[in-house]
Amino acid sequence: MAKVLAVVEQRDGTLKRVSEEVVSAARKVADGIGGEVDALIIGAAGIGDAAKSLGTFGADRVIAVEAEALSSYNPEGYAEALAERAKAEDYFAVLFAATASGRDLAPRVAAKLDVPMASEATELEVEDGELLITRPVYTGKLFAEVTLEGSPRVVTLRQNVFRPEENPRQATVETVSADVDPTAWKVRVREVRAGSGETLDVAEAPVVVSGGRGLRGPENWGLLEDLAGALGSRCALGASRAVVDAGWRPHGEQVGQTGKTVSPQLYFAVAISGAIQHLAGMRTASTIVAINKDADAPIFKVADYGIVGDAFEVVPRLTEEIRKLKG
């Protein structure tokens, strides 16, 4: 039976939330071809239990590749283990999340399997037994609808686009050990710095507060930090290119072309005029709020809700109202 393989992720032994998105998307594809969903997780011993809950989102089987050397992401070890599993069955498609590791891993696996792949899909549809993949190109200025001539079809899925949907079944867990030799690896992670696991990246956060040059200087970012704080722990800060180029904020926060593409449920553009590169990077957000002094700023053309006004007056009030609401 044709199957779909959903490659899911863990961090420090805990299933990453994006896994639910990948399994939900895989379920839909599997239903389209009348097949089943295998969810594959790689990690230290016992990782299979962490993924058992994916039955809720439509996984028929969890395959856990367990090895101490694979407890955290390593490109060579993971690609090897994954390619082996992908070859073991007749998979119609292998789906990854377009996370840092998914983006790193999927092309290696595709190359090992000698199949073409599609990156950053925002829509999947099965039509006459073929997988139609919609994906943004030119940072979202256009969308391309593509098909892949090869099997399995390797696809990464943009985060926050495929919503987790419950479709419960009793997933079985199968544990396989991986025969890996870390001494042969040529890439070694020396250390992981900064708030990994604590600070949410702008590309994966469901709520983003971005600031532009209208904030006049890095010393005024406290304004946005307060707003982000009021919005809760799933909120991340973003920045326009002008702000990053001026050295006010790190490049990791840049939203738009040459920065990150984001699709949060809620996006605040504060004192950002809305250059085409910026709009391209955030226009797929579900709800966009713009706050800008200039009523003619292009950002208002894509915003669902706008306030024309000085960020220095509007944002503190907004923070206060949201705090009240979340009380």
Contact by Cβ (8 Å): 274, 309: no
Taking the complex as a whole, the smallest distance from the CB of residue 74 to another protein amounts, in Å, to 10
Cβ nearer to another protein, comparing 107 with 218: 107
Cβ nearer to another protein, comparing 81 with 118: 118
Cβ nearer to another protein, comparing 54 with 109: 109
Contact by Cβ (8 Å): 154, 42: no
207/324 Cα distance (integer angstroms): 18
Cβ nearer to another protein, comparing 20 with 36: 20
Taking the complex as a whole, the smallest distance from the CB of residue 69 to another protein amounts, in Å, to 16
214/217 Cα distance (integer angstroms): 8
Cβ nearer to another protein, comparing 174 with 310: 310
Taking the complex as a whole, the smallest distance from the CB of residue 92 to another protein amounts, in Å, to 16
273/289 Cα distance (integer angstroms): 12
CA neighbor of 78 nearest in space, from 109, 103, 49: 109
Burial of 90 (0-12, 13-18, 19+ CB in 10 A): exposed
Taking the complex as a whole, the smallest distance from the CB of residue 216 to another protein amounts, in Å, to 18
| Residue 135, number of CB atoms within 10 A of its CB | 22
Taking the complex as a whole, the smallest distance from the CB of residue 210 to another protein amounts, in Å, to 16
